[in-house]
């Protein structure tokens, strides 16, 4: 089951986003207004995760985990609630899907960036 987790998540994400992507495209100009906010959240969350990890004096792997965890919001969890809203709030589920797309791009960027930010310290060599 552990090996199936990532493929199952990818399929679920593809189905959910696929069901809403046409509507996102039709409201792209409206949704573009919130993209900078989503990007700012990722930047602030990564910085907050790094500061928190340093304050807690965590090693590098847990520091990286905290940074990633802070930046991901799992917004698709609230998508069913957003879809249940009245028609006058029909933009809400599209904003949730847009946030998820921004988060996915951010995660790809962070896979490269976080190891540079939270580096492994060089091993100390002692000679006797």
* 85 has a pLDDT exceeding 70: yes
pLDDT tens per residue across span 34-64: 999 999 999 999 999 999 999 999 999 999 9
Domain ranges of the chain: 27-117
Question: Which of 12-26, 32-46, 60-74 is predicted with the least confidence, judged by mean pLDDT?
Answer: 12-26
Dihedral, CA of residue 1, residue 81, residue 49 and residue 110, to nearest 10: 60
Q: In the 8-state DSSP scheme, what is residue 122?
A: P
Q: How confident is the model at residue 2 (pLDDT cuts 50, 70, 90)?
A: confident
pTM, rounded to two decimals: 0.77
CA distance 45 to 72: 9
SS (H, E, C) 17-55: HHHHHHHHHHCHHHHCCCHHHHHHHHHHHHHHHHHHHHH
Q: How confident is the model at residue 66 (pLDDT cuts 50, 70, 90)?
A: very high
CA distance 18 to 24: 10
């Amino acid at each position: 089951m552990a090996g199936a987790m990532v493929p199952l998540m990818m399929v679920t994400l593809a189905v959910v986003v696929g069901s809403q992507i046409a509507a996102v495209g039709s409201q792209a100009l409206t949704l573009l207004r919130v993209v900078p906010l989503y990007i700012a959240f990722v930047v602030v969350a990564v910085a907050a995760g790094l500061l928190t990890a340093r304050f807690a004096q965590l090693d590098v792997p847990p520091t990286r985990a905290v940074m990633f965890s802070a930046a991901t919001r799992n917004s698709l969890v609230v998508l069913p609630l957003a879809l249940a809203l009245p028609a006058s709030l029909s933009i809400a589920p599209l904003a949730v899907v847009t946030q998820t797309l921004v988060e996915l791009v951010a995660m790809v960027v962070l896979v490269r960036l976080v190891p540079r930010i939270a580096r492994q310290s060089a091993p100390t060599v002692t000679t006797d």
